[in-house]
Amino acid sequence: MTCEEANALLLDELAGRIDDRRHEDLHEHLAGCAACRETAAAQADVSRVLASRPETTVRPDFAARLARELARESGWFGLADWRWLSMRLAPIAALLLVAAGLVIGRQQSPASAPASLSAVVETWASGGTGVAPVTSVLWQQETSEDAALLTVLAAPSDATIVEQTDER
């Protein structure tokens, strides 16, 4: 076993993760290797010294000062805490949103029903007017094919014929 392997085993032993066979291998190596014995001793020595470190005495007023600070934090300073605000104001905000939705809903006039394709075709065939010009829809960037078709059908039929005749 090399010293490097022994150090790895030493780590396992210190962590309490070594089986009997590897424990024996390690101690066989330690018996014949002064450097690794020194390493193992250093680990144990330092651990023992640190575990015996005398405790710092806590100031007698530690808890009282902390209680005062916590009272201050959870007092008016606590109002600035966004979590406090969001938890307590969320129901009020939700109610306001619902109320605003109801008011807006009442103010709006009932939406006109969209024209059906058959109605538009009928209007077009009878030469009816009062529909939007073709270009107003065709120039819209997000016009769907259906909307464009409806608009073309609803436009005065003679205008289209004239254009086609001109092209020819």
Minimum CB separation from other proteins for residue 59, in Å?
A: 6
Give whichever of 15 and 31 is closer to other proteins, judged by the CB atom.
15
Binding residues for other proteins (CB under 8 A)? 7, 10-11, 13-16, 39, 42-56, 58-59, 62-63, 65-67, 69-70, 73, 81
Give whichever of 62 and 117 is closer to other proteins, judged by the CB atom.
62
Minimum CB separation from other proteins for residue 44, in Å?
A: 4
Give whichever of 62 and 100 is closer to other proteins, judged by the CB atom.
62
Nearest residue to 149 via CA among 125, 119, 120:
120
What does the alpha-carbon distance between residue 117 and residue 147 come to, in Å, rounded to a whole number?
Answer: 10
Torsion of CA 26, 27, 31, 33, to 10 degrees: 20
Q: Is 96 exposed, middle or buried (0-12, 13-18, 19+ CB in 10 A)?
A: exposed
Minimum CB separation from other proteins for residue 76, in Å?
A: 15
Distance between start and end Cα atoms, the chain? 98
Number of H helices, E strands in the chain: 9, 0
Minimum CB separation from other proteins for residue 20, in Å?
A: 17
Give whichever of 62 and 125 is closer to other proteins, judged by the CB atom.
62
